[in-house]
C-alpha cells in the first residue's frame, strides 16, 4: 500500500464522474451506492455541470457562452485578465469549485462521508482541456506555450483545493484527473507530442498534494501511462483489458503498491444486455491470469484493484436506466470476486 493512498483496493467499487441524470438526488443516491462514492458531474442538468466548463472559473481569457453552450479562448482578453488573476491567485479560495459551477459538488460536501472506505473527486485533465478549447483562430490552446503553462497551473490548484475539501470529509479522499484527450498526443497530426506531454504531466503530478490518479476511457500508449508518477490508474478494461495486461510495466506499477481501477462493466445498452456478473468476473480473472504468468501474485492484484463501470455514458435511449443497472451489476461482480478472494 502506497503511503499516499492510505487504503488498499481489495475489489472495492467506484465509478467515473459523469452521469446522465438530470435529478441531483437520484445521481447522488447512485454514487453513494458504491464503496468509494464520488460527486457526480451532470452535464444534462446544466451547462455549468460539464467537466470542461467547471474548470473555466477564473481562467484568464476564457469565454463561457451559456446561450450557445460553447467555451472559447480570447487572446486579447487573456492579456487583460492576467492582472486580476495574479491578485486572485493570492487567495486559495479562488480555486474552490463554486456552487455556480456545481450544485452537485456542494450537495456532496454537505453529506456525512467519513464512514466510507474513501471518497473521490475528479477534474478535467489539462491535456484534454487544452486540446478541446480553441482560440479565436480555431487553434487549440495547447499550442500556445504561455496559455498551456496557465492551464497546468490552474488545474493543479483546482485539484488541490478540491482534495483539501474532500479530505476534510474523509481522510482517505483522492481526486483523479479525467483526461480522455491523452490518447491524441500519440497521433502524428497532433502538434503537442507525447514527449512534451509526459514532461509537463510529470511536473503537474509532482505538485498534486494528495494521491495522484488518472482516468481515461480511450486507448493511449499504456507504457506512457504506467510510467507516469501516479498511484491510481483507471481505464476501460472491458474494451482494452486484454491488451493492457500484456504490458510488462503493469508488474512494476502494481509492485509499487499502486492501484488499477478496472472498468469492467459496460454501460452501453447493446453491450450491457449481453453480460452477467459471472461472465464479467471471469473476464477479469482471465486478465489477471496473464499477469500471474508474468510473475505477479494474484493476492497483490486483488489488493491493488478497484472495480468500476467501463465508461461514462450519456447516449443511451433509456437515459439513466442502463447506467443504473450497470452500477448494480458492478456491485454484483465485486461481491462475487470478494467472496472468492477475500
* Mean pLDDT value across the chain: 95
Q: Kindly list the domain boundaries of the chain, sorted by start residue.
A: 12-341
pLDDT of residue 5: 85
CATH numeric code, 12-341: 3.20.20
Confidence at 1, pLDDT banded by 50, 70, 90: very low
Environment class of 25 (CB within 10 Å of its CB; exposed 0-12, middle 13-18, buried 19+): exposed
pLDDT over 80 at 117, yes or no: yes
β-strands 12-13, 174-178: how paired?
unpaired
pLDDT beyond 80 at 2? no
pLDDT at 184 (0 to 100)? 86
User: What integer pLDDT is reported at residue 194 of this predicted model?
Assistant: 85
Give, rounded to a whole angstrom, the gap between the first and last alpha carbons of the chain. 16
Across 167-196, average pLDDT: 89
Q: What is the pLDDT of residues 53-81, one digit of tens each?
A: 999 999 999 999 999 999 999 999 999 99
CB 163 within 8 A of CB 210: yes
The pLDDT of residue 3 is above 70: no
The alpha-helical segments, DSSP class H, found in 92-236 are 103-109, 126-132, 145-169, 194-206, 222-226
Helices 145-169 and 194-206: angle between axes, nearest 10 degrees: 40
The reported pLDDT for the residue numbered 116 is 97
Give this prediction's pTM.
Answer: 0.96
| Over residues 247-270, mean pLDDT | 96
Amino acid at each position: 500500500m502506497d503511503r499516499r493512498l492510505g487504503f488498499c483496493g481489495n475489489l472495492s467499487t467506484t465509478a467515473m464522474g459523469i452521469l446522465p441524470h438530470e435529478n441531483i438526488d437520484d445521481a447522488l443516491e447512485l454514487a453513494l451506492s458504491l464503496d468509494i462514492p464520488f460527486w457526480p458531474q451532470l452535464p444534462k442538468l446544466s451547462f455549468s455541470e460539464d467537466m470542461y466548463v467547471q474548470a473555466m472559473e477564473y481562467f484568464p481569457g476564457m469565454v463561457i457562452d451559456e446561450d450557445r453552450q460553447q467555451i472559447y479562448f480570447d487572446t486579447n482578453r487573456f492579456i487583460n485578465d492576467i492582472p486580476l488573476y495574479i491578485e486572485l491567485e493570492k487567495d486559495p479560495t479562488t480555486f474552490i469549485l463554486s456552487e455556480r459551477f456545481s450544485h452537485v459538488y456542494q450537495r456532496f460536501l454537505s453529506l456525512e462521508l467519513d464512514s466510507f472506505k474513501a471518497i473521490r473527486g475528479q477534474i478535467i485533465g489539462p491535456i484534454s482541456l487544452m486540446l478541446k478549447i480553441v482560440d479565436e483562430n480555431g487553434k487549440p490552446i495547447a499550442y500556445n506555450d504561455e496559455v498551456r503553462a496557465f492551464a497546468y497551473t490552474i488545474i493543479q490548484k483546482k485539484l488541490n483545493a478540491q482534495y483539501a475539501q474532500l479530505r476534510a470529509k474523509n481522510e482517505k479522499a483522492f481526486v483523479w484527473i479525467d483526461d480522455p484527450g491523452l490518447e491524441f498526443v500519440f497521433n502524428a497530426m497532433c502538434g503537442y507530442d507525447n514527449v512534451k506531454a509526459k514532461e509537463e504531466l510529470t511536473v503537474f503530478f509532482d505538485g498534486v498534494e494528495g494521491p495522484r490518479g488518472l482516468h481515461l476511457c480511450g486507448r493511449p500508449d499504456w507504457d506512457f501511462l504506467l510510467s507516469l508518477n501516479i498511484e491510481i490508474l483507471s481505464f476501460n478494461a472491458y474494451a482494452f483489458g486484454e491488451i493492457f495486461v500484456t504490458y510488462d510495466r503493469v508488474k512494476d506499477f502494481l509492485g509499487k503498491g499502486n492501484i488499477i481501477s478496472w472498468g469492467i462493466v459496460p454501460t452501453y445498452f447493446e453491450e450491457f444486455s449481453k453480460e452477467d456478473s459471472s461472465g464479467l468476473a471471469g473476464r477479469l480473472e482471465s486478465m489477471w491470469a496473464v499477469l500471474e504468468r508474468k510473475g505477479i501474485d494474484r493476492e497483490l492484484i486483488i489488493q491493488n484493484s478497484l472495480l468500476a463501470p467501463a465508461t461514462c455514458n450519456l447516449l443511451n435511449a433509456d437515459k439513466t436506466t442502463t447506467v443504473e443497472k450497470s452500477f448494480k451489476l458492478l456491485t454484483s461482480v465485486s461481491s462475487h470476486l470478494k467472496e472468492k478472494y477475500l
